[in-house]
Amino acid sequence: MRLARPWSLRELVRDLREGRTTPEAASKRASARIAETEAELHAWVDRTDFLPGAGVPLGVKDIIDLAGVPTRCGSALRAETAPATSDAAIVTAWRAAGAVPLGKTVTTEFAFFAPGPTRNPAAPGHTPGGSSSGSAAAVASGQVPLALGSQTAGSVTRPASYCGVASLVMSHGRYPVTGVTGLSPSLDSHGVFAATVSDLATAWSALTADPDPEPRPPRILVWAADALDVVEAPMQNAVTQAAKRLREAGATVSAFLDERLMVDLTAAHPVVMAYEAARERAAELAVAERLSVPLAQLLRTGAATSSDEYESARATIADGAVRLAEVLGSYDVVLGPAAPGAAPRGLDATGNPVLSRGWQALGLPVVALPGFTDTAGLPLGLQLVGRHGGDAELLGHACWVERVLAGDSW
């Protein structure tokens, strides 16, 4: 059985509009694919009844409230929690856009590092990433054409890269996080997975009621992330090859030279995350002995972090935003590796989020683009980073990049 077989949202929406399929047929397709693959993938925590005639099948990460379904957050502490009485604000927004939740997808424990049971459809013996593992796997396997995630460090971009699908991390604050069990208020952002960037553009247009983002060649700064010393050779090659092809297709391409900026932001991010998590998840900190070692360590580290250390990290991030604006200048996006390499073998860890930390600290929108593979055929994703609030513009640039890298002509 082929597990990695994504389902195009753009094609589904077109078929629905032109009468070639129906919401009932979409529901049956989703249910059939879940029945076919779920025993191997373990992408879902709970399933809901799909209402005939309702809309596009959607997966919802299990830190996001869905009316009538418990929000268990991947934790034994929430095993007996009561069903949510209302949808999270972001679920309400997606329902209004025409999506209908099929249920809750697996998350790591409280969206941190302790893995859930989900496997990677592109490489079942390798991690799907975290913390939005279930949503990434559900899209990569074609169980649903759209699924919700969240990102505090690298919880959307990394799973997309590992599973070979596209994702969007929205600008911080673009939509409220009401009804989401978060870790760090100044870092938590909404995310969404789809098969391709063009599918993300379709989803964004429906969510915002704006026209599809216009594809156009961007002015690109290429970030090699050399100073972080984590990028593996196949991923380095993917970034280099992408930059070459984009330049040949007409994009303006230059090197991102301020590596010190990203080192500083990457160091500040975990300080802020730990400090805020210890306060946001104070109830869990009180029973830290019942948590996984990584989460307990995060919360204890945050509790021991002084307010001066926290404010210093916040100041570094504020200064970094000014410095990045100067670095970007007349450029539109930053292109770089979405993860150090392909998904690591094994299911006892979720991979390294270091290449997302700096961008997440700034609350910037990020698109993960699939399409490259390593010599073993495992997915390698690239990331495009845009300006805060420029989610639609970023998607337009990313659509152009996707088409060029796919070899399509304009």
Residues annotated as catalytic are 61, 131, 155
Calculate the CA 279 to chain-centre distance: 24
For the sheet containing 99-105, what is the strand order? 44-47, 99-105, 56-61, 146-151, 189-194, 166-169, 366-373, 379-385, 333-337, 219-222, 252-255
Q: How far apart are CA 114 and CA 291, in angstroms?
A: 9
Q: Which two tokens stand for residue 392?
A: 């639609």
Q: Are 13 and 7 in contact (CB under 8 A)?
A: no
Distance CA 360, CA 357 (A): 5
Alpha-carbon gap, residue 18 to 14, rounded angstroms: 6
For 20, 76, 99, 199, 201, the CA distances from 13, given in Å and listed in that order, are: 10, 38, 11, 10, 12
Q: Tell me the two tokens of residue 278.
A: 């210890």
How many whole angstroms separate alpha carbon 273 and alpha carbon 296?
A: 13
